[in-house]
Chain A
Amino acid sequence: MKVKVVTRILEANERIAAENRRLFDEARVYVINLMSAPGAGKTSLLEKTIKELSGKIKPAVIEGDIAGTADAERISSLGVPVIQINTGGACHLDANMINEVLGSLPLKETDLLFVENVGNLVCPAEFNIGEDMKVMLLSITEGDDKPLKYPLMFQESSALILNKIDLLPYTNASIEKIRKDAMSLNPSLKIFEVSCKTGKGIAEWTDWLTEKVKS
């Protein structure tokens, strides 16, 4: 006997993401889902951003890693509320993992929640967690062919941060090519060039971010 189902496979995730969304709206928290390949500089960007916003915007962080607490310790040393999620193998954070830790965060006293996703250029882009926007980080040492090889994350993100531009002299990566390919995948993408080492470009990014959070 045939049973009609017609259900989106990720429907359960979408439902929980919507519930997270409701909790975020209620507490008036702006939420960023930060995604990149391993080592592109997500935690470094958070450190720089949090320092730059200090006194203006109250942040909190959820750290997603397959294992370990190193990233959460880096954030915690800045005096910012942080929760580490260990996915135990899963290549991305999903809405349910976020939902389970929300009770342990001071959401009401938070303006901006950063969720550092598991380092991976593919899967995190598939799973909404209830965020206001997805932000993608690409370090220029990863190569300028990445937009066309991993299009989905570029398409799903509102902003692209090109990190490690201090290393530009040592690579053959073309920022122009990255910009052109990324924009062809996503014409409304906002692109920043930064170095988390020298601090170059960070202020431009945090100014833009502040505007988003306050509006």
Chain B
Amino acid sequence: MHEASIALSVLEIAVDNCRKAGYNRIESIRLKIGRASGIMIDALLFAFNAVKTDTIAAEASVIIDEIPVSGLCSSCGKDFVTEEKYVLCCPECSSTSFNIKTGRELEIIDMEVF
């Protein structure tokens, strides 16, 4: 629901980094978004298209790497990856003691500038 403020942060960070690198046009921005980050990708893209107008990112496209939820079970010792947004127990052995390793990411990885 707060995709608009996330889109604004992405824009700010991207513009900042582009200028710091000595360029003034952003062609594309690559994001890493975990499935359990609470972000709806469609809503984020929509919001980004709204906030980018009249900025050096006006032509920029956003490329998203979606990261699934994964973890390591402390009972059976197995690594697991799931399609679910949330893990309640280890998919292998149903134990409830496990550590989540990925899925909450909300990061800018890199961008193409010119």
Instruction: Name the contact of A122 in the complex, choosing from B12, B38, B114 (C-beta under 8 A).
Output: B38
Kindly specify which of A4-12, A33-41, A55-63, A164-172 makes contact with the partner chain.
A4-12
- Does A185 belong to the interface (CB within 8 Å)? yes
Closest to A187 in B: B96
Q: In terms of DSSP, what is the predominant structure of the interface of chain A?
A: mixed
- Does A49 belong to the interface (CB within 8 Å)? no
Instruction: Name the contact of B88 in the complex, choosing from A1, A94, A123, A184 (C-beta under 8 A).
Output: A184
CB contacts between A and B, total, < 8 Å: 80
Bound-complex Cα distance A13 to B106 (A): 13
A184 & B113 in contact (Cβ 8 Å cutoff)? no
Contact with B along A1-41 (1 / 0, CB 8 A): 11111111111110000000000000000000000000000
Residues of B within 8 A of A10 (CB): 6, 9, 106
> Assuming A5-B17, A5-B108, is B6 touching A91 (CB within 8 A)?
no
- Does B2 belong to the interface (CB within 8 Å)? yes
A91 & B86 in contact (Cβ 8 Å cutoff)? no
Q: In terms of DSSP, what is the predominant structure of the interface of chain B?
A: mixed
Bound-complex Cα distance A91 to B5 (A): 10
Residues of B within 8 A of A126 (CB): 2, 38
Closest to B30 in A: A5
> Assuming A90-B2, A91-B1, A184-B88, is B111 touching A7 (CB within 8 A)?
no
Q: How many residues of A contact B (CB 8 A)?
A: 29
B1-42 at interface with A (beta carbon < 8 Å): 1-2, 5-6, 9-10, 12-14, 17-18, 21, 23, 31, 36, 38
A2 & B10 in contact (Cβ 8 Å cutoff)? no
What are the nearest 7 A-B pairs in CB distance? A123-B2, A5-B108, A151-B86, A9-B106, A91-B1, A3-B21, A4-B110
